[in-house]
Amino acid sequence: MMSTKKLCIGTSGWAYTTWKPEFYPAKTPSTKFLSYYATRLNGVEVNYTFRARPAVRTLQNWCEATPETFTFVVKAHQRITHIKRLKDVETDVAGFCESLRPLSEAGKLGPILFQLPPHLKADVDRLRRFLQCVPKGMRAAMEFRNESWFADGVLNLLREYDAALCVAESDDLEVPDVNTASFAYYRFRKSDYTEAALHEIENRLTQSMRQGDVYAFFKHEETAEGALNARRVRYDLEQPR
């Protein structure tokens, strides 16, 4: 696909031995998973950061194992989203972003995903104060898991701060496919995707790329299905048309 927009496709994590041999060759050691993954997909969503801050050397190792064009998207620490629930988190956000410096200095840091707990209902004032403390130049994607957030006031606020509504498909919640930022963020979390569904995903991502960069991640599973779906979608979208 000929475009100046970035198309980043991957999965949520990569360290799964159960992906052998369908995705990883049977004899691939776990220490080589990331470097092999990066030959097939060009981005990954890191959930590890939800519970812990990776060591500097760990982030440096990730950078060394991947090509220059590879992107790491990270989930914000639970202290920000689940413990303090976006309230009074200026110091926490600043510290978390600072911990990602090795990725940003390598030019490999993508958006930060702020995933809210399902029981947290819409609060526009709380969201505004939170967005005001996100460092300038840092892309933020908001994953709301309570339908009360899918209101015009919230969406307009996201547009004001160039924050993306994370379109997180699942079997339990329907999220509107609405663009609120200069980039789009998708999480494909349904239990199964048919050929027709994958084709529809490709059409949606193509439409989104006309407006800006696109980040899309398939659910990690005990099987390699998510990784294979991501690889297939990336291959199809990168073919000349």
- Residue 60 burial (10 A CB sphere; 0-12, 13-18, 19+): middle
Render 26-67 in DSSP notation, one character per residue.
TT--GGGHHHHHHHH-SEEEE-GGGT-PPPHHHHHHHHHTS-
Task: Give the Cα separation of 188 and 72 in Å (integer).
Answer: 17
Measured CA to CA, the distance from residue 87 to residue 81 in angstroms comes to 9
Sign of the dihedral through C-alpha 118, 221, 172, 179:
positive
| Count of domains for the chain | 1
Name the residue among 88, 87, 109 with its Cα closest to residue 98. 109
Enumerate residues 6+ apart whose C-beta is below 8 A from 103.
59, 62, 63, 72, 74, 109
* Domain assignment present for 2: no
Return the structure tokens found at 176.
Answer: 């509107």
Distance from C-alpha of 62 to C-alpha of 72, rounded to nearest angstrom: 9
Q: What is the CATH number of the domain that holds 206?
A: 3.20.20.410
pLDDT score for 220? 80
Q: Nearest 5 degrees, angle CA 208-CA 219-CA 174?
A: 60
pLDDT of 241: 59
d(CA 168, CA 187): 4
In a domain, residue 1? The reply is no
pTM of the model: 0.95
For residue 58, is it within any domain?
yes
Q: Which domain holds residue 76?
A: 7-237
Q: What is the pLDDT along the chain (241 residues), one digit of tens a residue?
A: 334 578 999 999 999 999 999 999 999 999 999 999 999 999 999 999 999 999 999 999 999 999 999 999 999 999 999 999 999 999 999 999 999 999 999 999 999 999 999 999 999 999 999 999 999 999 999 999 999 999 999 999 999 999 999 999 988 888 999 999 999 999 999 988 999 999 999 999 999 999 999 999 999 878 999 999 999 999 999 987 5
Instruction: Give me the torsion for CA of 78, 79, 85, 90, rounded to 10°.
Output: -130
Residue 98 falls within a domain, yes or no?
yes
Give the pLDDT score at 184. Answer: 98
pLDDT (0 to 100) of residue 3: 44
Predicted confidence at residue 1, as pLDDT, reads 36
In a domain, 32, yes or no: yes
Give the pLDDT of residue 197: 95
Does 215 fall in a domain? yes
